[in-house]
Structures are given as structure tokens and as C-alpha cells.
Structure 1
Amino acid sequence: MNLFFGLMVPFIGTVFGAACVFILRGELNPRVQKMLLGFASGVMVAASIWSLLIPAMDMSAEWGKLAFLPAVGGFLLGVLFLLLLDWLIPHLHLGSEEAEGHKSSLKRTTMLMLAVTLHNIPEGMAVGAIFVGLLSGGSEITLTAAFALSIGIAIQNFPEGAIISLPLRSEKGMNRLRAFFYGAASGIVEPLAGALVLIASHYLVPILPVLLSFAAGAMLYVVVEELIPETSRGRHSNLGTIGFAVGFVLMMALDVAFG
């Protein structure tokens, strides 16, 4: 039961965010959107460090001064994995007119959904990886630490769900229910990715430090490639930076307090 809720909590965060389409009119204010994107970036960076990379190096302590090697290898593999997906899958980011990835005749709405799916895959993998670490019996990861990561990702998914559903309602003329569905569905890949990692846990436990670092690398790729640049679009402000600081501190506090 703990595993089920742990995997579903991030998706629930996306659903609640998408539900904003029922109570808000139009899109989010661009300044608010920048702050929320910065907040999501801060949460993901802190989660990558405290929930994934540091435990990965702690698990490799017997390597002595080379304890960083599994973390480095996994991190780089995670970056390469997202780079490959970014190149292979046709997708379109909000606020952009030019699609990325392979050329495709897919509808704009579909490519917007694929862009969010790309972002959510590493988050689902991160939750699955930390629960694999919990099931392995290692003292480095506790149940509260696993749920701290899951809750932290859910918190940053809340604005993400709103940022997807609200523009679909205002720009595309969708009815509220359909816009909500698209916003909520963008997060379903997270529990699926986490479940796939758990299903393969028997094979992954021996390389758990690499797996945790892989998830961290994939998450930070998303932050650097997409989220932070989006906070700098249009008129310059410091709101994205302020949001980043708040998200980073919140996730850090969650991990340290409940880890």
C-alpha cells in the first residue's frame, strides 16, 4: 500500500493543479508562471542532490575516495537518456512555435502533451528508484525519505498541471473538462515510469547508486534544458530566481527533516 501511494502522490499533485481550470479564468499571469517554473526547478534540483545523489554516494562508501564514480556514471547516463528522448520524440513547449525532435504531422496539442511527458518520465523514475532503495533494506533510505521525495515532486507538479490545463482552455478554446483531462493526463506517465522501475527492482538493486544518479541526471537535464530558460523568456525579472530559492529550500527542508 505504501508503494502504491508513494507512486501516485506525484500524479495527484498534477491532477490538483489541472483542476485549477475549474476555478480560474484565462491563463496564469506570466509573472506568476515564471515564479512557479522557478519553484519547480528549485524542488527538482534539491531533490536530485539530497534524495538521489548524496544517498548514491553514501551507498558507494566502500569505494573510498572513488565513491563518486557510480554517481558520476549514472548522472551522465541520465543526461544522455533525456538527450536521446529529446531528439527522438516530436514535442512542442508552451510559448514556442517551433517543434523539437523528429519532424512529425502530429497535432499541436499532442506535441504539447509529449513535451510534458518528457519532463515527467525522470520524476517517475526518481520516485521508483528511491522506493527500490527502500525495499533493498539499505539504511541510507527510509520510508519518510521516500515519501519526502514523492511529496516534493507532487508539490512542484501542482503548478505544472495548472500551467498545462489553463493555456489549453484559453488558447485552444477547449471546454474546462477536456482541458482538465489533458492537464491531468500529462502526469500519468510518472506512476507508470515508477512502476516499471519497481518491476525491474530485482535486477536494479545491485546497481542502485547508478540508478539513483541516473534519475538525478535526467531530472537536472529537464531543469537546465527547459524550466530555467522558460523563466527568462520575455521581460526580465527576478521572480524565477525567487521561486527557485523557495522551492530549493522547501525540498531541502523536507528531505532533511523527514530523511
Structure 2
Amino acid sequence: MTATIIVGLLIPLLGTMLGSAFVFFMKDEMSARLQKSLLGFASGVMVAASVWSLLIPAMEMKADSGAWSVVPAAVGFLMGIGFLLLIDELTPHLHIGTDKPEGVKSHLSKTAMLTLAVTIHNLPEGMAVGVVFAGAENQVSNISLAAAISVSLGIAIQNIPEGAIISMPMRAAGNSRWKSFVLGSLSGVVEPIGAIAVLLLASFLTPALPYMLAFAAGAMFYVVVEELIPEASSGQHSNLSTIGFAIGFVLMMVLDVVMG
């Protein structure tokens, strides 16, 4: 594993840490307007990354199959949705802005369940980074190292507001600034772990790479549809989340095309 790939896998975690550090500079709880905008932005980045960096390359890898080239992308996408659905049902977690836990019943603290919710969210992002770097390392013609780095940068950019969205409510709930920062940062550790696991797996299962690309896309779409968009659209200021989505989508699209 080259130094460039190692750095690429760690970039998203650095984004989460940077966002979590906002807790040291912001005195009050994050405003609803800002939170809506950031949730929309994160959604836009994840949707664009799923389409341009994962689903389209998955179909291009099987272009010689004609109309059947869409099969690996379709199967992998549905498997990714199903995998996250299963994790969501089995893991006790609590979404920001609600007091009703989801998943199996447990006696975990509110802070622990909030952290688990974000960990579920971050897992598919790590998988996406890992699988595109696997494509670049295996010299898949339509996935360059620059394209893989663009995905890593895009995820890192959307992790900055996401880190703040995690750490600020934890601070408002009574945790110290340092504890809020550490917990917010730790929620992003699953990304490089998931990325490395997928990267190592893909090195042994190169023929399955189109399915793995689509799998990561499906997992990310699940997070967007199940969590981010409902939170961004509920209540007031939903128009700000729409604007944020558009900005995030275009930014990730441009990153992928320019660097790809």
C-alpha cells in the first residue's frame, strides 16, 4: 500500500476532526439554518460521489457486456441498501434531534447512541473511499488515482460540517468541549478502517469490483434517503437544505470530472 493511498484513506478522518474542532470556537448550539444547510450539502456530495465515482464506473467496467453491463451495478446497489438496512435495524442508535432510539433495545447512554448513529453513517463513506482506491490500485482503466483522491477530498469536505453537527449537540447536551471533540472525531475512525478492509478485500476479489463499487453507492444512498434528507427537510428552512444539496452535488461533480 503506497504512501499516497494511505494519505488518501486518512483524509476523510481529518475532515471529521476539523469539523468536530468547531466545538472549541462556537459558543452556542448550531443554528437550525446552518444545520439544515450543512445536511443538504452533505447529501449533495454523497449523491454525486455515488453516481459519478461509483455507479458509472461500475457500469463502464462491464461495458463489453452490452445491455447486461447494468446488472452488477443494480445488484451491488440493492445489496448495499440491504446491508445498511440490516445494520440500522440491529444497532441501537439515536439520531440527532430526536429522543426515540432505533434498533434493538439497549441501556446505552444517549451520547453513545448518537455516536453509533454517526458511525453507521460514516461506514459507507469509508467503503466508498476504499473501493475507488482499490480500483485505482488494480489499474482499472476508468478509475485513476486522481479520481480516487477526488472522492476522498469530497468525502472529507462533507465531513467537516458533519463533524460540527455531531460535536455541537454533544456539547449542548452537557459534555465538555474536549469530550465532544473526541467523540465527534472517533465517529470518523470507522471510515479509514472500513476503507482499508474494502481495499484489502478488493485486492483478492478484482472480478467483484463492479459489485463493490455499486454496493458502496447503495450504502451511501441509504444514509442520504433514510437520515440526511428527512432531517434536512423537516421543520423550517428546508429551502436552505435544497441550496446546500445543489452546492454539494455540483462541487463533488466538478471534483470528479476535473480530477478524473
Same fold (TM over 0.5): yes
Give a deviation string over 1:141-191, Cα, whole Å, max 9, x none: 0011000000000000000100111111122x1111111001111100000
Equivalence for 1:232 = 233
Distance across 2 between alignment mates of 1:204 and 1:194: 15
Equivalence for 1:155 = 157
Give the aligned residue type for 1:232: S
Give the aligned residue type for 1:189: V
Give the secondary structure class of the aligned counterpart of 1:100. coil
8 A Cα contact 2:44 2:244, kept in partner: yes
Shift of 1:203: 2.5
4+ residue runs over 6 A deviation: none
Shift of 1:252: 0.2
Shift of 1:204: 2.5
Equivalence for 2:56 = 54
**% identity of equivalent residues:** 59
Equivalent of residue 109 in structure 1, options 107, 111, 116? 111
Structure 1, unaligned runs of 5 or more: none
8 A Cα contact 2:41 2:248, kept in partner: yes
Equivalence for 1:12 = 14
Distance across 1 between alignment mates of 2:51 and 2:129: 14
8 A Cα contact 1:26 1:169, kept in partner: no
Give the aligned residue type for 1:228: I
8 A Cα contact 2:94 2:117, kept in partner: yes
Equivalence for 1:254 = 255
Shift of 1:236: 4.7
Distance across 2 between alignment mates of 1:141 and 1:236: 38
Distance across 1 between alignment mates of 2:38 and 2:60: 32
8 A Cα contact 1:26 1:167, kept in partner: no
Equivalence for 1:212 = 213
CA RMSD across the alignment: 0.8
Give a deviation string over 1:185-205, Cα, whole Å, max 9, x none: 110000000011122223321
Distance across 2 between alignment mates of 1:86 and 1:139: 35
Give the aligned residue type for 1:95: G
Distance across 1 between alignment mates of 2:178 and 2:237: 34
Distance across 1 between alignment mates of 2:132 and 2:142: 10
Equivalence for 1:186 = 187
Distance across 2 between alignment mates of 1:13 and 1:152: 10
Distance across 1 between alignment mates of 2:166 and 2:257: 31
8 A Cα contact 2:137 2:145, kept in partner: no
Distance across 2 between alignment mates of 1:141 and 1:84: 30
Give the secondary structure class of the aligned counterpart of 1:200. helix
Give the aligned residue type for 1:116: V
Equivalence for 1:245 = 246
Give the secondary structure class of the aligned counterpart of 2:104. coil
Give the secondary structure class of the aligned counterpart of 2:192. helix
